[in-house]
Amino acid sequence: MTTTVPDFDIFPTIAPKRDTAPAPRVIATDVPRFNPPIERPLPPVPEIVFAEPQPSAPTMPEPVADPLPEVPRRDLRLLAAERTLFASLPVRARRRREHKPPTRSEFNLRDEEGAALAAVIFLMVAIGLIITGLFMNLQAGTTQTALIKSALLSRTAAESGQDAGLWSAMQRECEPTVESGEFGYTYELYGSDFKVQPPTGDNLFGAHAGCPETGDYYLLVKSIGTDGRGREKEVVSVYQWGDGTEETTFDSEATERAMPKLITRTEN
């Protein structure tokens, strides 16, 4: 079917009229419709699967309260009497009978630090006591050793004075008193012509100081030994000439003299 458009001016006031007639306009109808060719296939449409609803939780049966057991009348009376007695008790007694649930104390770092500090202090005190004991033991041992050494030195010096005094009494050039700073002793000589009783360290019984003289029955040697610290040891020895008779008394003019006999010895 062909439609011819009439030739007339729609807008006469705007466009001038053409001199030549326009070509007739033809509008095609009955145009077949078709889909254009597809170069690539379209992607498949994803299938939408809806999640199945979760099954609901089973309903719990309603709790059924069991009926309370029947309490005999006698037990009710006892319970009432106990309540009455509890109400009549003082407040302190009531609090004692109350059962409180145990409480858990929270962890406190300060308490742990205090316990550790106490343990450290205790350990330090124990170590200090042990060290002090060892030091005191060592000091006591050193002091005891020093005392023993001092006593030994003073005794040795006193024995040296005894030997020196006895040797001097038997010589013609006798020295009645000698003080030796090199060997640390001092000795003194005494003679006694008292026949009844020999002299001792506490009582001389009329003995005279100095070297023995003719007619003396006894010889007394008194020596004092001193160590480096000033500790002194005194030894007094009494000797007897011969057998104590007049025939065996000391003779200052004799050229040969026998060794006297030791009869007593005193140490202080």
Task: Tell me the average pLDDT of the chain.
Answer: 76
Q: Among 13-27, 155-169, 206-220, where is mean pLDDT lowest? A: 13-27
Q: What is the pLDDT of residue 259?
A: 86
Residue at 17: amino acid letter = K
Q: Confirm if 189 and 168 have CB atoms less than 8 A apart.
A: yes
Both tokens of 229, joined, read 């610290």
pLDDT over threshold 70, residue 5 = no
pLDDT over threshold 70, residue 31 = no
CA 122/CA 130 separation, integer angstroms: 12
Q: Confirm if 240 and 217 have CB atoms less than 8 A apart.
A: yes
Give the residue from 201, 205, 220, 212 showing the smallest Cα distance to 248. Answer: 212
Average pLDDT over residues 206-228: 87
Both tokens of 135, joined, read 């030091």
Average pLDDT over residues 238-260: 84
pLDDT over threshold 60, residue 8 = no
> 9-13, 47-51, 52-56, 215-219 — which one is most confidently predicted on average?
215-219
Interval 126-184: pLDDT, tens: 999 999 888 888 888 777 777 777 778 888 888 889 888 999 888 888 888 888 888 88
Q: What is the pLDDT of residue 153?
A: 83
Q: Confirm if 202 and 147 have CB atoms less than 8 A apart.
A: no
Both tokens of 7, joined, read 């030739």
CA 165/CA 178 separation, integer angstroms: 8
Q: Which pLDDT band holds residue 190 (cuts at 50, 70, 90)?
A: very high
> Which residues touch 213 (CB under 8 Å, ≥6 apart)?
191, 193, 250, 252
Q: Which pLDDT band holds residue 187 (cuts at 50, 70, 90)?
A: very high
CA 154/CA 186 separation, integer angstroms: 11
Q: Confirm if 209 and 220 have CB atoms less than 8 A apart.
A: no
Give the residue from 219, 227, 235 showing the smallest Cα distance to 176. Answer: 219
Q: Supply angle C-alpha 182, 183, 187, rounded to 5.
A: 115
CA torsion 169-174-179-182 (nearest 10°) is -90
